[in-house]
Amino acid sequence: MFDITKDIHSVTIFRRNPALFMKQVKKTKRPVVLTVKGKAAAVIQDAEAYQRLLAIVARADVNEAIRQGLEDAAMGRTRPAQQVFSEIRERYGIPR
């Protein structure tokens, strides 16, 4: 869980002791938000957590594509595969 009192710091403080922040990220597995003039500017997180985040995003993209496909099918926004393949062959000059 993100802790606003421990996980938000200015870039200036980070520059003074980046190793301390890296230890914190590694130990807590929580990201650290770095601010510039009081506004969030960057997020530091460990590589493992970032990789997990990328995997979650990839799955979400796939799930959304499937949802859209199912919605298209339900709304009748489909065409026979034979028709689509014929159009592709014609467009790219692919012989039968």
**CA dist., res. 64 & res. 87, Å (int):** 26
Indicate the residue type of 96. R
Confirm whether pTM is higher than 0.75. no
pLDDT of residue 43: 95
Q: Show the domains of the chain with their CATH numbers.
A: 8-45 (3.40.1620), 49-92 (no CATH)
pLDDT in tens, the chain (96 residues): 777 778 999 999 999 999 999 999 999 989 999 999 999 999 999 999 899 999 999 999 999 999 999 999 999 999 999 999 999 999 999 998
Residue 3 pLDDT: 75
- Whole-angstrom distance, CA of residue 38 vs CA of residue 48: 28
CA distances, 39 to each of 22, 35, 70, 87 (Å): 21, 5, 41, 51
User: How many residues in the chain?
Assistant: 96
SS3 80: coil
pLDDT of residue 57: 94
